Amino acid sequence: MTPPAPDPLPSAAPGRADRWAFPILVVGLIFGAFSPIFLRLSETGPMATAAARMVGQLPLLALFVLARPSLRAEIAGKISGKDFAMLLLSGVFFAGDLIAWYWAVTVTSVANGTFLANLTPIFVAVGSWLLFGERLTRGFGVGAALAIGGSLVMMSGNWTAAAGSHNPWGDAAAICAAGFYAGYVLALSSARRRVSTAATMTISGISSAIVLTIAALAWEPQFWPQTTNGWLAIAGLVLIVLIGGQTLIAASLAHLPANLTALMFLFQPAIPAAFAWWLFGERITLIQLGGVALILMGLTFARKASRTASAPVEA
């Protein structure tokens, strides 16, 4: 097994890296929460927007690879066949998540689609147990139940307005999106134990870009934006959401259980709501605040349980 290349996380001692991992995950989630904002500002369809953001990062990744001989050496020969396959698969899973999610919200209610897509932690819990031997403690189970319940409470205000606007196929697509994202987290978590963040994002990003480009060209007529504002939206997705958010999340996965990482995504919808309240004066209801409180309580339980659990076993 080859040692990983240098990482954004401090690596002087394993304990120090573990302490930095959780704050880095939180910052990554905050950056990632800007995705729906830039998606709303995009002038192309959702599939083309997703593809453009993945393709848009490729020139930056190429420059980064060219500038770092150690990274080129790692990608060329220091990554095992299993890890390389996991990284390619993580990109396919990420693309599948975006495709399933974007299709789901066009045929089912946003409330249904959002809640069902947030079932990712359940899929990750099963997958991490089967693949990595990670066992859930009772405290983590309680925390997960509280966090998922809080997510449901947060969106409860949308259920009445959405009644009758969903169908089983859209709900099934949202569940598939949750499964795909769980696959992305698990595959990335497995490879990140031995592969650097830079190599991880390069290989996974190329894989996602290929799948999403094929899907966008097949389903949507316009691929690239036509105005400056449209290009700025893509730039925001590339620099803030993808390079900022996804890279930091990938960096944290080498030091955090996949279960806890997946559960943290339940808090992400609260971040754009807070920004909308601060920037645009959009009202936040007491029900939404109650949901956020339940999610935070659940995440606290889950994180404490993860600290006391034994370290995951490598696959």
The pLDDT tens digits for 239-270 are 998 888 888 888 887 777 777 777 887 777 67
Write the DSSP symbol of residue 267: G
Q: pLDDT tier at 206 (50, 70, 90 boundaries)?
A: very high
| Cβ contacts of 168 within 8 Å, gap of 6 or more | none
Angle at Cα 242 formed by Cα 208 and Cα 218, nearest 5°? 35
Q: Is the pLDDT of residue 291 over 90?
A: no
**pLDDT band for position 211 (cuts 50, 70, 90):** very high
Pick from 24-38, 82-96, 267-281: least confident: 267-281
d(CA 284, CA 198): 38
- Evaluate if residue 278 carries a pLDDT over 50: yes
The whole-number average pLDDT for the span 110-135 is: 75
Among 71-80, 170-179, 292-301, the least confident range: 292-301
pLDDT at 91: 94
pLDDT band at 281 (very low <50, low <70, confident <90, very high): low
Sequential DSSP letters for 67-102: H-HHHHHIIIIIS-HHHHHHHHHHHHHHHHHHHHHH
Confidence of residue 2 (pLDDT cuts 50, 70, 90): very low
Specify the pLDDT at position 109: 61
pLDDT given for residue 214 in this prediction: 94
Share of the chain above pLDDT 70, in %: 80
Residues 188, 209: Cα–Cα separation, whole Å: 16
Contact present, 209 and 21 (Cβ < 8 Å)? no
Per-residue confidence (pLDDT) for residue 120, from 0 to 100: 83
Cα dihedral: 141, 146, 150, 152 (round 10) = 60
Where in the chain are the domains?
14-308
**Where on the phi/psi map is residue 88: left (φ > 0), alpha (ψ -120 to 50), or beta?**
alpha
- pLDDT of residue 173 exceeding 80, the answer is yes
Which pLDDT belongs to residue 114? 65
Q: How confident is the model at residue 276 (pLDDT cuts 50, 70, 90)?
A: low
pLDDT in tens, 8-58: 444 434 455 567 888 888 888 888 878 877 887 888 888 898 899 899 888
pTM metric for this prediction = 0.76
Distances (CA, A) of 257 to 63, 106, 230, 299: 32, 33, 37, 13
State the average pLDDT for the chain. 78
Cβ neighbour number for residue 193 with a 10 Å cutoff: 16
pLDDT at 8: 46
At 108, the pLDDT band (50, 70, 90 cuts) reads low
**Given this model, what pLDDT does residue 124 score?**
85
